[in-house]
Amino acid sequence: MMIYSKREIQKMKRPSLLKKVTIKGPAYCKINILGYSGGGKTFTACQLAIGLCKDIGLNDVAFFDSEGGTDYMIRRFEKHNINLHVCKSRSFYDKVNVMKECIESGIKVLIIDSVSHTWQDLTEGFEKRRNRKNGLVISDWKIIKKTWRQEFVELYLNSPMHIIALGRASNDMDTDTDEAGKMQIKKVGTKMKSEGEFPYESSLLLEMESVKAKMSVKDKNQVIKCTVLKDRTDNYNGDIIYNPRYSSFIKFFEFHDFSGQQTIIDVAQKSDAFFTSDDTPDSPRKKILLEEIDGELARRGLSGTSRQAKQDRSNLLNDTFGTSSWTAIKRMSIDDIEANLDELKRTV
């Protein structure tokens, strides 16, 4: 008689994950554009949005505006009888809710200009909430990136709408050793001012810059140079396009099945079953962290029962953990306790 383990039995009952493909292509475009100020990001995004609307018969575009650029684009949309719906904000919270509002109201095209401000708002909000007077610590970034991914990126990828997300560029620096053996810092490229992986979540990634036209020595006109950093349709990878329009990427848009259904990436299924939880109140790791907090307080002479010691201890815990309640601290996640303990150790 064959005896199966519980794990093997569960595998036998597991439904098939593979399904036959029935779609002709992706139903919605996800486009990211990066560039320095004045590089033509907003203008190009509006051109692409207008082209999309005319191509598939849409009359509404939503615009999350953190830079005031919509004021100069209103007439362009009016010219094509397209209704422009604007939210002027730099809040990460507002950006996410604008996306949800678009889904609920049936708006199919959204421009986000820019994600850089909302990334800054998210990091500064965390810094303020956690009272990080000396800046963020390494463990903080894990929480911030998780929030960015779960609240924004997953919605960005799975939402049934075309999204054109803009971000400001910054220099991508690296170190190198010269012939004399000295360490040198050099520019190795550009990157978007946002969470590091986000630009490459898109199906089309463009880098924009304003350059002088080279038609003649006297010509002082500026033209927009667009470098295609990524194209999942593989029609424009590495191409350089000047003064791009919707028609400049027609093969990319034709690859899509705009009448089809949005394919969903399953973000609900997790792999935590492979790991045992150590975030319970009685977990050894949490006990160690709490003992370290006790030790840090004792090192500062704040473990006594005098009125002054209690007051100083309460103030320090409030400043670092946002509460002086030991019960509340014990209920925090291990990540939060660890991050706040790091801050406590750095506080003089």
What pLDDT does residue 302 have? 86
Decide which of 204 and 268 is more confident.
204
Q: What is the mean pLDDT of the chain?
A: 86
Rounded-to-integer distance, Cα 67 and Cα 64, Å: 9
- Count of Cβ atoms closer than 10 Å to residue 101 Cβ: 15
CB neighbours of 341 closer than 8 A, spacing ≥ 6?
289, 292, 293, 296
184 pLDDT higher than 60: no
Domain boundaries, the chain: 30-254, 274-346
Pairing of the two strands 204-212 and 222-231: antiparallel
What pLDDT does residue 266 have? 81
175 pLDDT higher than 60: no
State the average pLDDT over residues 270-277.
66
Band (182; pLDDT cuts 50, 70, 90): low
State the average pLDDT over residues 293-321.
87
What pLDDT does residue 263 have? 80
3-state helix, strand, coil in the chain (%, to 5): 45, 20, 35
State the average pLDDT over residues 291-308.
88
Alpha carbons within 13 angstroms on the beta-carbon side of residue 328 total: 9
- List phi, psi (to 5°) of 144: -65, -45
What's the pLDDT tens digit per position in 210-256? 987 665 545 557 899 999 999 999 999 999 999 999 999 999 999 99
147 pLDDT higher than 60: yes
Band (171; pLDDT cuts 50, 70, 90): confident
What's the pLDDT tens digit per position in 68-119? 999 999 999 999 999 999 999 999 999 999 999 999 999 999 999 999 999 9
Band (173; pLDDT cuts 50, 70, 90): very low
Rounded-to-integer distance, Cα 64 and Cα 122, Å: 16
What pLDDT does residue 55 have? 95
Class in CATH terms, 30-254: alpha beta
> Could you give the C-alpha distances from 65 to 6, 78, 119, 238, 322, in angstroms and in order?
54, 18, 14, 29, 33
Band (13; pLDDT cuts 50, 70, 90): low
16 pLDDT higher than 80: no
Decide which of 16 and 317 is more confident.
317
What pLDDT does residue 185 have? 54
347 pLDDT higher than 90: no
